[in-house]
Structure 1
Amino acid sequence: MADIATRVYNHKWKIDPIVRSLLDTDFYKLLMCQSVFRNKPDTQVTFSLINRTKSIRLAELVDEGELREQLDHIRSLSLSRGESTFLRGNTFYGKRQMFRPDFMEWYEGMRLPPYHLEKRDGQYELTFEGTWPEVMLWEIPALAVLMELRSRAVLDGMGRFELQVLYARAMTKVWEKVERLRDVPDLRLADFGTRRRHSFMWQDWCVQAMLEGLGEKFVGTSNCLIAMRREVEAIGTNAHELPMVYAALAEDDAALARAPYTVLSDWHDEHEGNLRIILPDTYGTEGFLKNAPDWLTQWTGIRIDSGDPATGAETAIRWWKDRGEDPREKLVIFSDGLDVDKIIELQTQFAGRVKVSFGWGTLLTNDFRGLVPDDALAPFSLVCKAVEANGKPTVKLSDNPNKAMGPDAEIKRYKRVFAVGEQERVEVVV
């Protein structure tokens, strides 16, 4: 196990590129990338960094030269032979050869496209433009780089013993969470913390702690590189990116209303079992489920990623019952802003009513709250989203209006098309 504090002190991270492999990404990105490669390979998309926590002025914390150095390094990466063998030959979700030969040939030869970086009002404007399959693979490494450079900036002035104590306290904090979760009956928990982690080494340490502390209750990690190295399951399905881009490509309101289901129809053609998980909140869960085609009731489950999680789960349970399905046979995955108290609360509330699973993100892999002066390592909400497709803006409404994005006129149009009424605002912490 790496001595993280010593590595930080001796090398100031120079020995460790932040992103050291194209597999240092989330599994769902590769699954979605293959789907896009098959169905929408020529779509031109723009991704953009969005810092929802304006008080964190990244351009004043993170050196531009170091940021460019890390981004340029990522552009030099390609799959190694061992990494390619892992993707081609491994079994994922019970399926051999999850990734098709044509996709793998493309991915093995792919290099990430150029980026555009500017400073404006204390923030970085970082954008990526190009064909959808290439550009979408920037999202996770771009976020990981910015998050870790922020961590490095805060840690840079700390001495050897100060760092040792800091990491000892952070490790204790994680382990105390593990101990509280250890005795929760029927718990199923995965690491979803790549995008906003403290650092790669820290995420890797957290996964090892979960493996030892939770045993079979820990079902895997979203991070492909860590999954390969630690021989655990790679976990992930799909994200808001797919319906956002499909919707932007819609030619009229009728096509827009169909877009979220067209996405899942394409997904249905490729995947089965536990990969058939509905993410219903892109344009409002209530409306999505109300208008969903009957074949979606046969899918394995639903992921709750915005709004009040208990409300979202109750809505899903009612929907399954109304459509003649037994909710006890369905899977509900909670993945938004989780920490130990909420995990235990939701597990207790829904155990026996549905199959419950958790994707634990930022507050697993980046919970340094209260450990440094001014809480300078507290996690914050940084995202990298598709903002344009074939020249048209994308929109996300969410079940929490604080997560909405897109031009005001388009947001108004989408709310009309998807019949989204008043929504409760929930603070976005991470």
Structure 2
Amino acid sequence: MDIATRVWNHKWKIDPIVRSLIDNDFYKLLMCQSVFHNKPDETVTFSLINRSKNVRLAELIDEGELREQLDHIRSLSLSRGESTFLRGNTFYGKRQMFHPDFMQWFESMSLPDYQLEKHDGQYELTFEGKWHEVMLWEIPALAVLMELRGRAVLNNMRKFELQVLYARAMTKLWEKVEKLRGIDGLRIADFGTRRRHSYLWQDWCVQAMIEGLGDKFVGTSNCRIAMHRDIEAIGTNAHELPMVYSALAEDDAALAQAPYDVLADWHREHDGNLRIILPDTYGTRGFLDRAPDWLAGWTGIRIDSGDPATGAEVAIDWWKSRGEDPRDKLIIFSDGLDVDKIIELHSQFHGRAKVSFGWGTLLTNDFRGLTGGDALAPFSLVCKAVAANGRPTVKLSDNPNKAMGPAAQIERYKRVFGVGEQERMEVVV
């Protein structure tokens, strides 16, 4: 595929950015099934949040084009091949990951409507409805906005200028791959769907990782790419689950218990598989200190905010305190990673635990400096669950710059979860 030529050909009336319901992260489908079974009647609102206020999306992206792309996504349904692929995913060849009742629903669903407005140079994009329906908007909505912003920047470039740009981007990525290929014991996956430069570029990056890293590359979070490239689809769960469960809690005691209720439901849903803890929604230290003993037996922990080395040390100390050998446990680093940080963390923790990396935006969208400036630099755009049954959601994180929710509720959550002073860290992507 000549990516530059395809970009040049974006002059068609509509060139769909998302062409499949499984052009989505695998963990979203796994979470969707858990919600479908455990919280089928809850109403949740998702909203776009642009943390990079200097990127004024409503001034870059044409509203009519954005609506066309979103409307196209609403027209999609699973193909027979996609359904067969999902039904064929199993735990160690023994049990289907996706249950027949969930698949029957998924095969007949289409995404619900959206609300789109402009305010102060930004788009206000929201989705409201049954949780298991609206949650599937998050990743494709982000992918559309990221790619439309890229198209807006590239629109004034001519064909040979585009060819040079992509040649430079390919060289930049390949140099990263070359730095990683010599690391013994490396395990790395593509986590870059939500803020990718484009679908074609993510697919190219995955192919480069397959060729350049061999068995060090363990898979991709993107279901469609996993299917087409015959590699492992990677993913477990995300902050969305404890955020919504917590918003639904009736009092402080139920709130304190909510993050553990999430994992109890998850354990039952997946018959004891996919046992990765994401502990930072309301502070990693407090979550682990109060965790029931059965969680210490889980496979591992994903570290997604705060200083990653500090988070890994906290996890190792916690496993030791609960009588577990950290060398048998998996630590997945996934926050704002690029090559140098991956190499540093691997050197620091390889051998002390099993270490893996979910490489996201700086794998699939690192065009920094390639246009003579930062016009294509990645930025921090998220789509989060902001309310459940009319109650606001809250996220504290191990980095207060990632916190979200009404100020009064943030203070309440800090009190309930015992979160004190935290170090602020720059949110890169």
Normalised by the size of structure 1, how large is the TM-score? 0.98
User: 2:194 — aligned with what?
Assistant: 195
- 3-state secondary structure, aligned to 1:337: coil
Q: CA deviation at 1:373?
A: 3.0
Q: CA deviation at 1:374?
A: 2.9
Two-structure CA RMSD over aligned residues (Å): 1.0
Distance 1:227 1:91 in 2: 14
Distance 1:160 1:92 in 2: 46
User: 2:384 — aligned with what?
Assistant: 385
User: 2:248 — aligned with what?
Assistant: 249
- 3-state secondary structure, aligned to 2:24: coil
Residues 191 and 358 of structure 2 are in contact (CA less than 8 Å); yes or no, is this contact kept in structure 1? Answer: yes
User: 1:399 — aligned with what?
Assistant: 398
Residues 257 and 417 of structure 1 are in contact (CA less than 8 Å); yes or no, is this contact kept in structure 2? Answer: yes
For residues 48-92 of structure 1, what are the alpha-carbon distances to aligned partners after superposition, in whole Å with 9 as ceiling and x for unaligned?
000000000000000000000000000000000110011112335
For residues 360-382 of structure 1, what are the alpha-carbon distances to aligned partners after superposition, in whole Å with 9 as ceiling and x for unaligned?
00000000000013310000000
User: 1:129 — aligned with what?
Assistant: 128
Residues 91 and 273 of structure 2 are in contact (CA less than 8 Å); yes or no, is this contact kept in structure 1? Answer: no
- Say whether residues 1:69 and 2:68 are aligned partners: yes
- Say whether residues 1:355 and 2:357 are aligned partners: no
Distance 1:55 1:358 in 2: 30
Q: CA deviation at 1:16?
A: 3.7
Distance 1:9 1:241 in 2: 37
- 3-state secondary structure, aligned to 1:219: strand
User: 2:371 — aligned with what?
Assistant: 372
Residues 93 and 275 of structure 1 are in contact (CA less than 8 Å); yes or no, is this contact kept in structure 2? Answer: no
User: 1:291 — aligned with what?
Assistant: 290
Residues 89 and 98 of structure 2 are in contact (CA less than 8 Å); yes or no, is this contact kept in structure 1? Answer: no
- 3-state secondary structure, aligned to 1:11: coil
Give the 5 Å matches for 1:247-286. 247-271=246-270, 275-286=274-285
- 3-state secondary structure, aligned to 2:208: helix
Q: Give the 3 Å change call, closer, same or farther, for CA 13–203 of structure 1 in structure 2.
A: farther
Q: CA deviation at 1:97?
A: 1.4
User: 2:30 — aligned with what?
Assistant: 31
Q: Give the 3 Å change call, closer, same or farther, for CA 193–109 of structure 1 in structure 2.
A: same
Residues 22 and 78 of structure 1 are in contact (CA less than 8 Å); yes or no, is this contact kept in structure 2? Answer: yes
Residues 267 and 273 of structure 2 are in contact (CA less than 8 Å); yes or no, is this contact kept in structure 1? Answer: no
Distance 1:351 1:377 in 2: 34
- Say whether residues 1:313 and 2:305 are aligned partners: no
Q: Give the 3 Å change call, closer, same or farther, for CA 177–12 of structure 1 in structure 2.
A: farther
Give the number of equivalent residue pairs: 429
Give the 5 Å matches for 1:64-143. 64-91=63-90, 94-143=93-142
Q: CA deviation at 1:12?
A: 3.6
Distance 1:165 1:369 in 2: 14
User: 1:175 — aligned with what?
Assistant: 174
Q: CA deviation at 1:272?
A: 5.3
Residues 35 and 131 of structure 2 are in contact (CA less than 8 Å); yes or no, is this contact kept in structure 1? Answer: yes
For residues 122-163 of structure 1, what are the alpha-carbon distances to aligned partners after superposition, in whole Å with 9 as ceiling and x for unaligned?
000000000000000000000000000000000000011100
Q: Which amino acid aligns with 2:140?
A: P
- State, as a whole percentage, how many aligned pairs show the same letter: 83
- 3-state secondary structure, aligned to 1:164: helix
Q: Which amino acid aligns with 1:68?
A: R
Structure 1 portions without partners, runs of 5+ = none
Residues 89 and 96 of structure 1 are in contact (CA less than 8 Å); yes or no, is this contact kept in structure 2? Answer: no
- 3-state secondary structure, aligned to 1:261: helix
Distance 2:36 2:271 in 1: 19
